[in-house]
Amino acid sequence: MTLAEHWNGKQWAIQSTPNPFGGGQLLGVSCSSSTACTAVGFYWSHSGTQVALAEHWNGTKWATQSTPNSVVVGELHGVSCSSATACTAVSGYQNSSNDFVTVAEHWNGRRWAIQSTPNTAGGGVLSAVSCSSATACTAVGIGNENTSGNETLAEYWNGTSWVIQSTPAPAGGGALIAVSCSSAAACTAVGIGDNDISGNETLAEYWNGTSWAIQSTPNPTGGTYNTLSGVSCLSATACTAAGDYLNSSGVYATLAEHWNGTWAIQSTPNRLAAS
């Protein structure tokens, strides 16, 4: 079932959301104002097929928007709206040849339309997008999905077309899960780097308007499967990333890191498990 909650400055409250036949899930949301939010995800059709889903909040209620489905686009992973009439959502799907293909869709205030996106030789999936304007969007994800060894992937929308940007990858490969752009020349992407010894290591990369570079990120002491799955940047020197890791007791714990020119781990509370 779809779910949306709203914070009014004092408390959270559940908002009523439409649920398509078969139920669905909302995986990402972006608000250009308090009366213009777009959430994306997927639902199950009458034929049992997974279908892309978009819903819009107009300040009063949520309503489903019609979304195109290219071949077998099964879901939309992330969305970013620079205004109420400019939203971009990204994803990926496995085609009839079992190859992974990147997907981007754009909302112009009236309808959603599929945009042509390039693919790496090994295929790929886009997991998140950040738009600093209608003509400046950066999407990130995983490249080389069809062969062994995942690679980081970034694509850029210049208002006319999507182009692949060269991104560095850790020695063992990796994936970018989230991205935040405070301007067209300042984007931070986070995710995971593969490590044969400790499972995963945290990963952060920065776009300075010319190229992507890996930033050094700390990992919790004794932690394994360290992952950064979300990031938000107010400026090029103020970012917060969140994720989780498997601690030495074999329990997953929350993880937050802050960038002020260097990345540092912030102490985070963990909800106690029910006994």
Q: Is the pLDDT score of 72 beyond 70?
A: no
* Per-residue pLDDT tens over the stretch 212-266: 999 999 999 999 999 999 999 999 999 999 999 999 999 999 999 999 999 999 9
Q: Give the least confident one: 161-175, 188-202, 229-243.
A: 188-202
Q: Quick one: CATH architecture of 166-269?
A: Beta Barrel (2.40)
* Per-residue pLDDT tens over the stretch 86-123: 999 999 987 777 788 899 999 999 999 999 999 888 78
All CATH 2.40.128 domain ranges in the chain, comma separated? 166-269
What is this structure's pTM? Answer: 0.93
Given a contact cutoff of 8 angstroms between Cβ atoms, the answer to whether 116 and 103 are in contact is no
Q: What is the pLDDT of residue 267?
A: 96
The mean of the pLDDT values for the chain is: 91
Given a contact cutoff of 8 angstroms between Cβ atoms, the answer to whether 77 and 54 are in contact is no
Share of the chain above pLDDT 90, in %: 75
Q: What is the pLDDT of residue 272?
A: 64
Using DSSP's 3-state secondary structure scheme, residue 135 falls into coil
More confident residue, 172 or 250: 250
Q: Is the pLDDT score of 56 beyond 90?
A: yes
Q: What is the pLDDT of residue 198?
A: 55
Separation of alpha carbons 200 and 14, rounded Å? 35
More confident residue, 1 or 161: 161
b/e per residue 103-141 (b: at least 16 CB within 10 A): bbbbbeeeebeeeebebbebbbbbbbbbbbebebbbbbb
Q: What is the pLDDT of residue 275?
A: 38
Q: What is the pLDDT of residue 274?
A: 44
Beta bridge partner(s), residue 206: 188, 213
Look up tokens 């309503």; give the residue: 63
Q: Give the least confident one: 40-54, 141-155, 242-256.
A: 141-155
Separation of alpha carbons 41 and 54, rounded Å? 7
Q: Is the pLDDT score of 26 beyond 70?
A: yes
Q: Side by side, which strands form the sheet with 224-235?
A: 224-235, 238-246, 252-259, 263-266
Q: What is the pLDDT of residue 195?
A: 59
Given a contact cutoff of 8 angstroms between Cβ atoms, the answer to whether 115 and 134 are in contact is no
Using DSSP's 3-state secondary structure scheme, residue 63 falls into strand
What tokens appear for 22 in the block? Answer: 């078969």
Q: What is the pLDDT of residue 111?
A: 96
